Amino acid sequence: MEIYKATAHFPKEELYGLTSQMKRSGLSVPLNIVEGHASSIKREFLSFLNIANRSLVETEYFLEVALESGCLSQAAYGSLENLRSEVGVVLTALREV
């Protein structure tokens, strides 16, 4: 949800570019965790966690692009990067269960 809030202030010309891509990659992380959790097969759950992790890495890159392009302030970037890092820790823990 924090990505949705942050991208609301992005320039309109980024609506179908960076804004859309960040929203999709950010939303993909929890969606894949939820979808994987719904499976009763551990191998499938791990597969969805791997997809979630790839989306998280993609989100990390989009955050960097948004910072470098001036769409995100350093403070907003720091806050979102901290959240991204925390989610990465959770994903790692889930894969080890």
CA dist., res. 92 & res. 44, Å (int): 16
What's the domain range around 46? 2-96
Give the dihedral sign, CA 2/15/31/78.
negative
Q: What is the pLDDT of residue 7?
A: 96
User: What pLDDT is recorded for position 74?
Assistant: 98
| Whether the predicted model's global pTM rises above the 0.85 cut | yes
Whichever domain contains 12, its CATH number is 1.20.1440.60
Q: What is the pLDDT of residues 71-88, one digit of tens each?
A: 999 999 999 999 999 999
Quote the number of domains for the chain.
Answer: 1
